[in-house]
């Protein structure tokens, strides 16, 4: 199945910081594999007539299935099915691949890890993903944790060459590329996020210069025209309980550097939970791609936990969902144990309520899906009492009372997620 997005439209979407898309200065990038969140995002985009950029990471989706069990082709097919179900025109759906490189296999020798990475990016390209983030910054077995610019660029060129070959062989539109990696690894940071260092302009310039020289060395001059974005650190991040809020003007030197990087935008990772006016400042200062993921699933989890408490009040019972999720996370601790550190009480709270939202990895599990469906089955389509919405979903209460949100369970979940989407849409609007 060919992915129906036109390359010329994608180029106009991402090609320059001042006009990322007609009527916009930036575009949000939706980075989640949560089916219900993706469904809500597609409905939101369809209602507004927006182009929707959805990205999968190397750990979520790869040739071996990743933690979602989906190959790039299967992920593409799922997204097209969701688009058809939600009324989103397929040509308004863009798929991207994030952190495409050896990260899932960095415990292996470099040759073996890079061989897997080449097979992965080939699968992404063949599936019609049009935006590819080349990320070979991490060291593999026996190498330094972070590689120098020259080695990163050499490996990025290898990956780009594979993607180009696949697209040429299969007659697919050629992708655009993102370079640069000054962000936490896919899945989140494992250490404190305090003391963030904003990328110096000279480092950004060097990244671009080294990639240009290396790609020319490999005969990839045509790819250079399609490098459209550079990942840098503008001073935004979030941890278990805290958020580094963007300070307008602090990354101004980076914005000034864009004038020497014609045709590029900056891509900002980990922008989750930023206040709307700070996201807006990021967009206006040259960050044309604003990535968001955990904030969306955090909002979904807030809503589903609130509904569980509403159901418990209606039935005169104790809430059940958080206990079921706790049992599931304790049975399989691999997604949270390396990340949450501290006392037992602290870690227990983070399992459910951390900004990092590592509980998101557990919602696809059969036991979790069954528990959510059972809850939604109990609540059905009935109107829930305003008083209980005020108590347990207070952020939505005012709009429920005013008639802007229907008081049934699914509408309340959708409204919680749409609030996050609205912040990004408003931040990205034309100046």
Q: What is the DSSP string of 85-109?
A: HHT--GGGEEEEEEEESSGGGTTS-
In the chain the first and final C-alpha atoms are separated, in Å, by: 38
For 5, 72, 79, 82, 95, the CA distances from 128, given in Å and listed in that order, are 8, 9, 12, 16, 8
Which residue did the predictor score with more confidence, 196 or 316? 316
User: Domains in the chain, please, with CATH?
Assistant: 7-292 (3.20.20.70), 297-421 (1.10.400.20)
List the one residue out of 206, 108, 117 whose CA is nearest residue 153. Answer: 206
Q: What is the pLDDT of residues 360-409, one digit of tens each?
A: 999 999 999 999 999 999 999 999 999 999 999 999 999 999 999 999 99
Assess contact for 408 and 382: CB atoms under 8 A: yes
Average pLDDT estimate for 38-63: 96
| Structure token digits, residue 24 | 């916009």
pLDDT in the model for residue 6:
36
Question: What band does 263 get if pLDDT is binned at 50, 70 and 90?
Answer: confident
**Whether the model pTM is above 0.85:** yes
pLDDT in the model for residue 10:
47
Question: What band does 257 get if pLDDT is binned at 50, 70 and 90?
Answer: confident
pLDDT in the model for residue 403:
98
Question: What band does 311 get if pLDDT is binned at 50, 70 and 90?
Answer: very high
Give the alpha-carbon dihedral of 170, 173, 178, 184, to 10 degrees: -60
pLDDT in the model for residue 25:
87
Pairing between strand 227-231 and 27-30?
Answer: unpaired
Helix (H, G, I), strand (E, B) or coil at 134: strand
Please give the Cα distance from 120 to 124 (Å, whole number): 6
Residue with tokens 């026996």: 142
Assess contact for 248 and 281: CB atoms under 8 A: yes
Question: What band does 262 get if pLDDT is binned at 50, 70 and 90?
Answer: confident
Whether 19 shows a pLDDT value over 90: the answer reads no
- What rounded mean pLDDT belongs to the chain? 92
Question: What band does 273 get if pLDDT is binned at 50, 70 and 90?
Answer: very high
Whether 30 shows a pLDDT value over 90: the answer reads yes
pLDDT in the model for residue 183:
55
Q: What is the pLDDT of residues 181-221, one digit of tens each?
A: 875 455 554 444 456 889 999 999 999 999 999 999 999 99
What is the share, in percent, of the chain residues with pLDDT greater than 70?
A: 91
pLDDT in the model for residue 3:
35
For 184, 235, 305, the CA distances from 196, given in Å and listed in that order, are 11, 6, 32
- For 257-285, b/e burial (b = at least 16 CB within 10 A) is bbeebebbbbbbbbbbbbeeebbbbbbeb
Whether 13 shows a pLDDT value over 60: the answer reads no
Q: What is the pLDDT of residues 231-255, one digit of tens each?
A: 999 999 999 999 999 999 888 888 8
Average pLDDT estimate for 43-58: 96
List the one residue out of 413, 311, 289, 319 whose CA is nearest residue 27. Answer: 289
């Amino acid at each position: 199945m060919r992915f129906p997005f036109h390359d010329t439209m994608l180029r106009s979407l991402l090609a320059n910081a001042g006009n990322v898309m007609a009527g916009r200065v930036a575009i949000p990038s939706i980075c989640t594999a949560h089916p219900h969140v993706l469904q809500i995002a597609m409905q939101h985009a369809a209602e507004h007539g927006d182009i929707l950029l959805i990205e999968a990471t190397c750990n979520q989706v790869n040739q071996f299935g990743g933690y979602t069990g989906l190959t790039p082709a299967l992920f593409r097919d799922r997204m097209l099915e969701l688009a058809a179900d939600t009324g989103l025109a397929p040509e308004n759906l863009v798929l991207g691949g994030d952190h495409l490189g050896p990260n899932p296999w960095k415990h292996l020798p470099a040759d073996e890890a890079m061989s897997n990475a080449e097979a992965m990016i080939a699968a992404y390209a063949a599936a019609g993903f049009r935006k590819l983030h080349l990320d070979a910054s991490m060291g593999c077995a026996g190498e330094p944790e972070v590689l120098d610019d020259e080695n990163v660029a050499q490996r990025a060129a290898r990956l780009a060459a594979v993607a180009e070959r696949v697209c040429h062989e299969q007659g697919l539109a050629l992708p655009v590329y993102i370079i640069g990696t000054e962000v936490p690894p896919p899945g989140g940071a494992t250490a404190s996020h305090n003391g963030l260092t904003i990328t110096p302009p000279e480092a950004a310039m060097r990244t671009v210069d080294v990639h240009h020289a290396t790609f020319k060395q490999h005969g990839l001059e045509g790819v250079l025209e399609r490098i459209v974005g550079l990942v840098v650190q503008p001073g935004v991040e979030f941890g278990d309980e805290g958020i580094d809020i963007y300070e307008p003007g602090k990354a101004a030197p980076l914005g000034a550097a864009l004038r020497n990087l014609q045709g590029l935008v900056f891509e900002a990772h980990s922008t989750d939970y930023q206040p709307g006016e700070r996201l807006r400042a990021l967009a206006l200062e040259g960050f044309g791609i604003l990535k968001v993921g955990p904030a969306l699933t955090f909002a979904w989890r807030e809503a589903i936990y609130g509904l569980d408490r509403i159901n418990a009040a209606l039935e005169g019972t104790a809430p059940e969902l958080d206990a079921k999720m706790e049992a599931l996370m304790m049975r399989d601790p691999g997604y949270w144990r390396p990340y949450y550190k501290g006392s037992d009480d602290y870690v227990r709270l983070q399992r459910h309520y951390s900004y990092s939202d590592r509980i998101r990895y557990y919602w696809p599990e059969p036991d979790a899906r069954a528990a959510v469906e059972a809850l939604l089955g109990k609540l059905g389509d009935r109107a829930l009492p305003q008083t209980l919405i005020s108590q347990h979903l207070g952020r939505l209460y005012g709009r429920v009372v005013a008639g802007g949100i229907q008081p049934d369970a699914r509408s309340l979940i959708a409204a919680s997620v749409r609030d996050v989407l609205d912040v990004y849409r408003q931040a990205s609007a034309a100046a």
